[in-house]
Structure formats: structure tokens, C-alpha cells
């Protein structure tokens, strides 16, 4: 072979190598593993990269703009050094516009053209009408006026005006219908447009290598606009059968990426919560200081969420109890309903493109209006509302800490395997089947597992607060299932009976579930007027309260019923409380809580008498209930 030709080839290779060393290599990566936290998600991508000799840059394109820059990690193995990693927003490489939006816009334009034509025609008719009215022939003083011609002119004018008015009415009706149709297309385009951001970002990696090589690069980073919250389906066949709990995750994301056929991991961790331990500060007392820590007895909050500017309903708004995993989303009319733990709670309303709003629960009905975020109006707007994935697991087999779910024939043909992995500070649910979570902000349901738990059932009533009787279930060894607090749909005897709250904030090995009310057990609490009295004896007042609690079992089976009431507890030595009649109830002297455990046969009725007397100085005011 010619020596000059060999030298020329070597020179060309050298020149190409130098050119490649200065070239920015564009790489497209694919999301492979997604770890979704209660708030936020960690995305893991990978791609094969050809590394040239010298210093070069590799740009990973199509990354979400909604990432925490401090969380970016790049891993690769080989004889090279990663010099730097940085993120840049890419406004030129805008995400491809959805074809569906273009089709809707084409149809929208056709409607606008029709509206323009009809509007122009309406203007013509109005001009003709105006001309006829201006040229009326009214001349009663003209004796030479031809009456026949006048009659003909008036008939023509009346006939033509009638025709014009009818035509205008037809056009106005058509315009109203066209505008209504136009508004539908406008709303649909806005709803779809809200699901996609206008820009992406690039992760740029600078590499130094002495040799040309090829290596697998793995990127991971945290995105904010993602998360999940748990919900449950709790089914009780009867009071003699185990309880079935279907554990489900409601997953959503709107970070600008499409997660298609990814390895999905649901984590109970929450990176948005501070990891710093709290510090106790001195607790000072002084005269005139008031300490109040009393919360209302609110267990369910409902309301409507609207846009503050125009009052329209907001669909798919995330509503969560602050500091918990309890959450829901607003429906197609902007309405929401959420079970909340008793005590002072705060609701957090969050929506893409709107300012996050926090409201303390002070009422069972809370309507809120969200204000559009000025910082993100031009980039990312709100989510859309969507229905959950259809289908429910048909069976479950529990083995150690693994739960195998067999899908129903209409939904799955491949078994879904969920592995539960306990870490130091959180639990991961590894979903082994590939999942797809679009970037539309809609809620997608992922089945975590179904569990059959042995339970002891008991009816409960606190007639001072509510005479409704609730069926409760006590579950033991519930901690091994890694439940989180969340709303539960209740089914008893194959009938949907409402919602409740599965509250896991307890250190007890027994979890108490409320399974709704039973109208076949009737309880009343009435004040006996003949024994209720107020007396003044010497320097003291005496008030006697006598309550009769009547319980009747209308069910055709034996029931166990826990009845709770209370006796007032004095916190002042000048106020004395005397328990006169408790009907055999067990009382806690510290808090005054009184309990009766009853076993009632079918159609059996029992009466409980609660009577107490309160004595206090007559110059003081004490409210005795």
C-alpha cells in the first residue's frame, strides 16, 4: 500500500479526532426507574455514550425543567474523569406540540370563520332595517298623497321588516350555538395545554479522557411536580369474617417528561420535609397569658375550589392534610371531600400554575379560591382531571414481606409482584411490572396489595356527641403491612356505605377502623326533667343532671356495643362533682370518661341512667351540661 496514502489516512483520522474532541455530543436518554415520594420523585435515566479523546461535553437533552439542581447525580465507569455537571434550560428545544391540540385549533378556526360570516350577515340585515326605518313615509298633511300607494309602501315595509327580524333571530340563535361550541374547544385546548411545559432542560457533562471509549451513563435527579398518596378499599362481608383491605397508591406527575414503561418504586419518604431534629425552647409563664389548644370535633371537610380571578372550577387540585399522607383531588366540578384526623389540622391546596394555599380546618365546609402564580403563568399551568386506571386485583397471597397480586382476567394476564423493602427511614414498594405515568397531572391508581386481616368487631356510640351507632373493627399486627394514613372507601355486606379515615398515627399494636353507621341500632339520650333540678343551699348552688340513655337492637343478630359518655371533672376545689347513678358503667376519674360494654340480643332494649350533681359557690357561674 502506498505510504503517502497511509499517512494521509492517519492525518484525516487525527483531524477528525481533534474535531470530535471539541464537538458537543447530543445524547437522548430514556427514563428507566422512577422513585415516587409522597412529594416529589427521583428520575433515573441511562444512555450509552461514545467518549472521545481529550476534553469534551455530553449534553443529555429532553430533561424536565422542573428539577432540583442540587440533586443531579451522574454515574459512569471507565478510564475518564467527569469534570463538571450543570443544568441549562432549553427554550429553543420546545416540546413538540400535541397533535390533538392542532386538530382542535383547526376545528376552532372553522367555527370562528362561521361566526365571522354570520356576524357580517347580521350587520347587513341591521343596515337594511335601519334604512327602511329612516325612509318611512308619514305625511298626514299631504292631501295629494295617494292612499293606495301609501298602503302598498306600508305593507312592503312591514313585510320586509318582519323578514329581516326573523333572519336576525335565526342568526343570533346560530351565533349563540357557535359561541357555545367555540367555548368548548377553547376550554379543551386550554386543559390539554396545561399538561405540557413550553421548555425543556439539558444536563451538560464535561469529560476528560486520554483514550476513546464507550460507557453507560446513568443520570438521576429530583423533580418537584410529582407525588402519591394512599387510599384504601375496606370490605367487610359480615362481623364474623376477616376484613379485606385493598392498598392503593394515587400517583400523578407533571414535570414535563413522559414516564413510559418504567420501573416504578413508591416510597414513603418525603424529601420536602426538613430532616433537622426539633429543639425545645423554654416555656415561660406569666400573668395574663392564655394557652388554648382545643380543636373542633371535625372529621370530614368538604368544599369547592375555584380560580380567584374568574370563579371557574379548578379540576384535579391536590388537597392534603399538612404533615400527613392523607389527600384527595377535586373532581370535575371543583368539589372535594376529605376525611381528616381529629384535632387542629391544616389543609394544603396545591395546583400547577397556582400559588400553594394553606388553610387551618375551622369548619366542616371550606371553599377556597386559588390565585394564579405570576412566575409560572408563561410556562406551566394547571393539571387536568382524569379518572383512575380501571381494574382491581382479584386475589392475594402473602408470603413474608412479599405480596403477590393476581390480576383479574379482564385487566391483567401477567401477575403483578410488589416487593416491600424497609429502609432506615422509609419503606419502598417495588412494582415489578412496567408502568406508564403520563405528564398530565391526572391521578393514576397503582395497586400495592390486598390483605385479609382478622378483626374483632364492636359497635360504638357516644350519644352526647352523636346518636348514630358506628361499626368499628380492631385489627392486630397491622404494622407489618406498612399502611399510611389515608382515606378509605367502606363496603359492608357488598354495599358501599361511605368513607372513613385509616389513621395510622398510633403506637398501639391494635388499629381501630370505623366502618360507618348502622341505622338498625337506635340510641337516644334525653334529659329527665323530673329529677333534674337546681337548688341554693346556704352559700352554695347545687345542680343535678339526670340523663337517660335508651339503646335498642333492631338487628336479627347479637351485637356488642360500647357506649361512651362523660361526667364533668372539677379543676377547682370549690367545685364538687358527685356521681349519683352510673348504671354499672366504668369511669375514668382523671378525664371523667364513662363506658358501658353491652351485649344485646335481637330486639333487646336497655336503659342506662347517668345522674350527677355539681356543687359550687352561688356567687360564681358554672355551666353544667
pLDDT one-digit tens code per residue, 268-293: 887 766 555 666 767 666 555 554 44
3 state SS of 120: helix
* Sign of the torsion angle spanned by Cα atoms 502, 503, 507, 508: negative
Residue with cell 439542581: 69
Q: What cell numbers appear for 312 in the block?
A: 371557574
Q: CA-CA distance, 343 to 322, in Å (whole number)?
A: 12
Is residue 504 a contact partner of residue 480, using CB atoms and an 8 Å limit? no
In this prediction, residue 9 has a pLDDT band, given cuts at 50, 70 and 90, of low
Q: Which of 8-22, 48-62, 276-290 has the lowest mean pLDDT?
A: 8-22
Q: Which of 39-43, 219-223, 419-423 has the lowest mean pLDDT?
A: 419-423
Is residue 255 a contact partner of residue 199, using CB atoms and an 8 Å limit? no
Pairing verdict, β 368-370 and 300-307: parallel
Q: CA-CA distance, 359 to 345, in Å (whole number)?
A: 9
Phi, psi of 180 (to 5 degrees): -65, -45
Q: Does pLDDT of 29 surpass 60?
A: yes
In this prediction, residue 261 has a pLDDT band, given cuts at 50, 70 and 90, of very high
pLDDT, average across residues 502-530: 82
In this prediction, residue 98 has a pLDDT band, given cuts at 50, 70 and 90, of low
What is the percent of the chain where pLDDT is above 70? 79
| pLDDT of res. 206 | 93
| pLDDT of res. 399 | 32
- The answer to whether the pTM exceeds 0.85 is no
Q: CA-CA distance, 493 to 475, in Å (whole number)?
A: 19
Higher pLDDT, 40 or 388: 40
| pLDDT of res. 408 | 31
Residue with cell 347513678: 581
Q: Which residues pair with 525 in a beta bridge?
A: 549
* Sign of the torsion angle spanned by Cα atoms 141, 145, 147, 149: negative
* Sign of the torsion angle spanned by Cα atoms 386, 266, 222, 368: positive
Q: Does pLDDT of 411 surpass 80?
A: no
Q: Does pLDDT of 142 surpass 70?
A: no
3 state SS of 86: strand
Q: Does pLDDT of 198 surpass 60?
A: no
Higher pLDDT, 188 or 318: 318
Largest CA distance in the chain: 131
Q: CA-CA distance, 596 to 254, in Å (whole number)?
A: 52
Q: Which of 119-128, 178-187, 528-537 has the lowest mean pLDDT?
A: 528-537
Q: Does pLDDT of 395 surpass 60?
A: no
- Compute the C-alpha angle 112/376/335, nearest 5°: 75
Amino acid at each position: 500500500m502506498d505510504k503517502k496514502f497511509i499517512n494521509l489516512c492517519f492525518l484525516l483520522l487525527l483531524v477528525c479526532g481533534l474535531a470530535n474532541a471539541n464537538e458537543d455530543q447530543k445524547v437522548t436518554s430514556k427514563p428507566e426507574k422512577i422513585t415516587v415520594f409522597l412529594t416529589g420523585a427521583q428520575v433515573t435515566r441511562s444512555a450509552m455514550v461514545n467518549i472521545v479523546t481529550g476534553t469534551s461535553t455530553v449534553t443529555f437533552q429532553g430533561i424536565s425543567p422542573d428539577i432540583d439542581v442540587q440533586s443531579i447525580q451522574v454515574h459512569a465507569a471507565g478510564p475518564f474523569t467527569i469534570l463538571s455537571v450543570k443544568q441549562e434550560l432549553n427554550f429553543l428545544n420546545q416540546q413538540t406540540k400535541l397533535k390533538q391540540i392542532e386538530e382542535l385549533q383547526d376545528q376552532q378556526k372553522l367555527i370562528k370563520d362561521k361566526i365571522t360570516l354570520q356576524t357580517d350577515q347580521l350587520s347587513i340585515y341591521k343596515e337594511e332595517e335601519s334604512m327602511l326605518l329612516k325612509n318611512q313615509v308619514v305625511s298626514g298633511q299631504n292631501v295629494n298623497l295617494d292612499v293606495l300607494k301609501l298602503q302598498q309602501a306600508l305593507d312592503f315595509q312591514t313585510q320586509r321588516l318582519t323578514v329581516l327580524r326573523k333572519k336576525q333571530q335565526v342568526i343570533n340563535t346560530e351565533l349563540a350555538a357557535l359561541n357555545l361550541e367555540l367555548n368548548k374547544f377553547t376550554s379543551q385546548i386550554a386543559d390539554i395545554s396545561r399538561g405540557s411545559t413550553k421548555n425543556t432542560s439539558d444536563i451538560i457533562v464535561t469529560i476528560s479522557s486520554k483514550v476513546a471509549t464507550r460507557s453507560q451513563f446513568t443520570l438521576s435527579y429530583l423533580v418537584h411536580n410529582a407525588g402519591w398518596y394512599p387510599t384504601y378499599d375496606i370490605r367487610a362481608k359480615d362481623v364474623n369474617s376477616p376484613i379485606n383491605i385493598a392498598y392503593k397508591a394515587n400517583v400523578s406527575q407533571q414535570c414535563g417528561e413522559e414516564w413510559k414503561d418504567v420501573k416504578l418504586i413508591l416510597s414513603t419518604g418525603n424529601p420536602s420535609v426538613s430532616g433537622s431534629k426539633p429543639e425545645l425552647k423554654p416555656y415561660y409563664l406569666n400573668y395574663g397569658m392564655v394557652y388554648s389548644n382545643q380543636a373542633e370535633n371535625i372529621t370530614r371537610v368538604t368544599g369547592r375550589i375555584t380560580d380567584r380571578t374568574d370563579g371557574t372550577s379548578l379540576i384535579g387540585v391536590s388537597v392534603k392534610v399538612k404533615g400527613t399522607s392523607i389527600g384527595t383531588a377535586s373532581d370535575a366540578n371543583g368539589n372535594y371531600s376529605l376525611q381528616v384526623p381529629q384535632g387542629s389540622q391544616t389543609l394544603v391546596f396545591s395546583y400547577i400554575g397556582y400559588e400553594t394555599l394553606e388553610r387551618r380546618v375551622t369548619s366542616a365546609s371550606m371553599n377556597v379560591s386559588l390565585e394564579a402564580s405570576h412566575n409560572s403563568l408563561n410556562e406551566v399551568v394547571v393539571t387536568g382531571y382524569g379518572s383512575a386506571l380501571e381494574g382491581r386485583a382479584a386475589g392475594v397471597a402473602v408470603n413474608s414481606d412479599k405480596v403477590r397480586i393476581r390480576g383479574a382476567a379482564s385487566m391483567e394476564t401477567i401477575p403483578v409482584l410488589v416487593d416491600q423493602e424497609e429502609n432506615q427511614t422509609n419503606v419502598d414498594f417495588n412494582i415489578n411490572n412496567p408502568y406508564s405515568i403520563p405528564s398530565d397531572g391526572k391521578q393514576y391508581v397503582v395497586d400495592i396489595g390486598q390483605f385479609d386481616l382478622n378483626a374483632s368487631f364492636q359497635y360504638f356510640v357516644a350519644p352526647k356527641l352523636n346518636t348514630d351507632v358506628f361499626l368499628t373493627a380492631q385489627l392486630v399486627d397491622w404494622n407489618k403491612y406498612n399502611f399510611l394514613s389515608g382515606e378509605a372507601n367502606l363496603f359492608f355486606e357488598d354495599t358501599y356505605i361511605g368513607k372513613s379515615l385509616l389513621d395510622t398515627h398510633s403506637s398501639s399494636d391494635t388499629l381501630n377502623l370505623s366502618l360507618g353507621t348502622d341505622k338498625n341500632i337506635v340510641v337516644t339520650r334525653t334529659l329527665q326533667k323530673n329529677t333534674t333540678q337546681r337548688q341554693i343551699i346556704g352559700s352554695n348552688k347545687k345542680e343535678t343532671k339526670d340523663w337517660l340513655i335508651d339503646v335498642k337492637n333492631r338487628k336479627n343478630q347479637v351485637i356488642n356495643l360500647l357506649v361512651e359518655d362523660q361526667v364533668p371533672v372539677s379543676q377547682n376545689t370549690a367545685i364538687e362533682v358527685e356521681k349519683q347513678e352510673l348504671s354499672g358503667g366504668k369511669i375514668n376519674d382523671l378525664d371523667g370518661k364513662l363506658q358501658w360494654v353491652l351485649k344485646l340480643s335481637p330486639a333487646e332494649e336497655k336503659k342506662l341512667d347517668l345522674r350527677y350533681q355539681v356543687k359550687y359557690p352561688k356567687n360564681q357561674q358554672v355551666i353544667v351540661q
